[in-house]
Structure 1
Amino acid sequence: MRILYEDRDENWGKLIVYEVSHFDGEYGSYRVLAFSEGAAQGVMDLGCPDRIVFEYPRAILHLMETYIPDYNDVYVIGLGIGTLPARLRDKRVKVAEVDPRVREISRRYFGYSSSNVDVGDGRDLLEREPDHAYDFLILDAFTEKDTPQHLLSEQFFRLCKDKLHERGGLIMNLFGRGPSDPIIRAVRTTLRAVFSYTSCFELPQTEAAAPRNILIMGACQPIRFREKGMAGFVPIVPEEGYLIRDRNEKFRL
C-alpha cells in the first residue's frame, strides 16, 4: 500500500488516500479514499478512471434513469471522490459536503473538476434551496460512525419532499445488516410517514449478519426499476420500526 495523503482532524476525524494493487479481489491499480485503512469511501480504477467500481452508484443511476428518464436537476449530499456527480456532468447538479478536506481531496487525487460543491452541513444547505427545484435528492453521507442521524429524521425527509418536484425522489445509500437491522427498519418506517411509495434494496453478503450497502428510495409516485440493472442489489422489505424524529434520543450524536 502506498499512502498519498493522511490527516486527522479533531472535528472530522481521519482521512487517508492510498493506492493498492488489488481491491475487493480484483488485481490492478486502485486509488482509495477512506476514513481508515479498512473503510473505503471511494475507489478509482487508475487503469480505467471512468469505471464505477462500487455497485451502489451504478444501482442509484439505474433507479434515476428508470424512474425519471428525462431528469435534469439533482442535489447530492456527500461528495466522496465525486463518482456520482462526475457521472452526472450533463445534468444540473449541486453537491453539499460537510468536510472541507474532501472537496480538495476529490480534486487533487481523483480528478473531480466541477465547481458545484458547497462546504457545509447538507441539511442546512438544502434548506436554502428553492422548493420544488429537484428531480432527485441523493443522500450518500457518512462519518467514521455512520450516516449523520439528523439526515434520517422525519423532519429531514419532509424538507426533502419540499425541495423535490411533484414526481421527484429521494435515494439514500446506507450501511446496515440487512432488513432486520433496527436502524434500517426505522429509516424505512420514517420515510413511509412522508412519501407515498418506498423501495429498499440490499447488496447481499456471504455472511447473513455482515454489514452491507442498503439503498432506500422514497417518492410520491410508484417506483420502477429492472432488477438486472441494479448491479447485484435485490429488493428487501424491512419490518416496521420506530419513527425517527430530531429529538429522538436513540439517534443523538
Structure 2
Amino acid sequence: MQEIRVYDTTELYGEKGRFRVMEFNNQAIQGALDLNRPKRVVFEYPRAIIHLMEYNNSFFADVFAIGHGIGTIPGYFAEKRFKVAEINAEVVELSRRSFGYTLDNVEIGDGRQILEHEPANRYDYIILDAFTAKGTPQHLTSDGFFRMTRSKLHPQGSIIMNLMGKGGHDPLIGAIHTTLSGEYAYIKTFALRSGGAAGMLNILMMGSSRPIRYQARYLAGFTEIHPAPGYVIGDTCE
C-alpha cells in the first residue's frame, strides 16, 4: 500500500496561497484544496473532465468513478448520482477528515471488480482516475476492461480517463488508444502542455459511441493530440 501524506503549504506549483495537499509516495499529488476558496477546482485535469462531461451530455445523471483522491469531481457534482470505487480505505478517511468530503457514495475495493457487478447500461459516464507508483494499473486499460465498461454504459455513454505519458509518441499511450478504439467508435486525446518529472504529461482520453465535442477555451490548457498506433493491451499482457 502506498504511503499517503496530507500537509498544508503556502505555495503550490508556483501559486501563492493556502493549500492542503494529498500526496502519494512523497511526489505524486492526488488532490489539493484551496483553503481560501474551498469550492474552487484547483487542478487543470478535473476542470477539463468537468467540461467534457457537461458539454457532451448536460443532462447526465449516473457516473461510476474509479479512484477517489480527495473526491473533487463527485464533490463538484454533488447533485448527481456517483458511485466511487477506491481501493485504499485510508484515502477515503483522509478525504473526509482533512478535505471535507461528505458524500456517502464510496465503496472500498478494486474498481474493475466492483464495476463488473453493476447492472448493464446503467451509467452515463465512467471516470478512470486511478494510479499506483507504476502508473495506471494495466487491468484498467486492457481490451477486456474496455469491453466491460462499454456494457455498463448507456448506449450513448462515455469513458474518460486521466493518464500520464510522454504525449502522442508514447508507446503506452498509443497502446491504450489502440485498445480503446477496439470498443469505442470515437476517441479524443488531450495533453496538458506543462511537462512534469521526466517529461511526463497529464493526458486525458475519452471514448464514446458518438462524436465527442469540446470547446478548447474550457479545457484548462489541454490541447488535442493524436497518439501513434500501438499494440492491443490484453488481460494477460505483462
Structure 1 counterpart of 2:159: 170
Q: Answer whether contact 2:168 2:174 (CA < 8 A) is retained.
A: yes
Once the two structures are superposed, what CA deviation does each residue of 1:28-69 show, in whole Å capped at 9, x if it has no partner?
111110113322111111111111110000000100111111
The 3-state SS of whatever aligns with 1:63 is helix
Structure 2 counterpart of 1:4: none
Q: Does residue 36 of the first structure (1) align with residue 25 of the second (2)?
A: yes
> Paired residue for 1:135, among 124, 133, 140?
124
Q: Does residue 77 of the first structure (1) align with residue 72 of the second (2)?
A: no
1:210, distance to aligned residue in structure 2 (A) = 1.1
Structure 2 counterpart of 1:3: none
Instruction: Label 1:206 to 1:214 Cα distance change in 2 as closer, same or farther (>3 A).
Output: closer
Structure 2 counterpart of 1:237: 226
Q: Which letter does structure 2 place at the counterpart of 1:186?
A: A
The 3-state SS of whatever aligns with 1:41 is strand
Q: Answer whether contact 1:134 1:164 (CA < 8 A) is retained.
A: yes
Q: Does residue 192 of the first structure (1) align with residue 202 of the second (2)?
A: no
Instruction: Label 1:19 to 1:208 Cα distance change in 2 as closer, same or farther (>3 A).
Output: closer
1:229, distance to aligned residue in structure 2 (A) = 1.0
Structure 2 counterpart of 1:8: none
Q: Which letter does structure 2 place at the counterpart of 1:141?
A: A
Q: Name the CA distance, whole Å, in 1 between partners of 2:82 and 2:235.
A: 27
> Paired residue for 2:81, among 85, 89, 92?
92
RMSD: 1.2
Q: Structure 2 matches for 1:1-253, cutoff 5 A?
A: 12-205=1-194, 210-249=199-238
Q: Answer whether contact 1:178 1:209 (CA < 8 A) is retained.
A: no
The 3-state SS of whatever aligns with 1:13 is coil
Q: Name the CA distance, whole Å, in 1 between partners of 2:137 and 2:125.
A: 20
Count of residue correspondences:
238
Structure 2: gaps (5+ residues): none
Q: Name the CA distance, whole Å, in 2 between partners of 1:56 and 1:123.
A: 22
Once the two structures are superposed, what CA deviation does each residue of 1:115-137 show, in whole Å capped at 9, x if it has no partner?
10000000000001000000000
Q: Answer whether contact 2:2 2:25 (CA < 8 A) is retained.
A: no
Once the two structures are superposed, what CA deviation does each residue of 1:61-117 show, in whole Å capped at 9, x if it has no partner?
100111111111111100000101101111111100001111101100100001100
Instruction: Label 1:236 to 1:164 Cα distance change in 2 as closer, same or farther (>3 A).
Output: same
Structure 1: gaps (5+ residues): 1-11
Q: Which letter does structure 1 place at the counterpart of 2:111?
A: G
1:208, distance to aligned residue in structure 2 (A) = 11
Query: What TM-score does the superposition give when structure 2 sets the normalisation length?
Result: 0.98
Q: Name the CA distance, whole Å, in 2 between partners of 1:38 and 1:47.
A: 24
Q: Which letter does structure 2 place at the counterpart of 1:167?
A: Q
Which 4+ runs in 1 deviate beyond 4 A? Answer: 206-209
Q: Answer whether contact 2:195 2:201 (CA < 8 A) is retained.
A: no
Q: Which letter does structure 2 place at the counterpart of 1:219?
A: S
Q: Answer whether contact 1:200 1:235 (CA < 8 A) is retained.
A: yes
Q: Answer whether contact 2:159 2:208 (CA < 8 A) is retained.
A: yes
Q: Name the CA distance, whole Å, in 1 between partners of 2:97 and 2:235.
A: 36
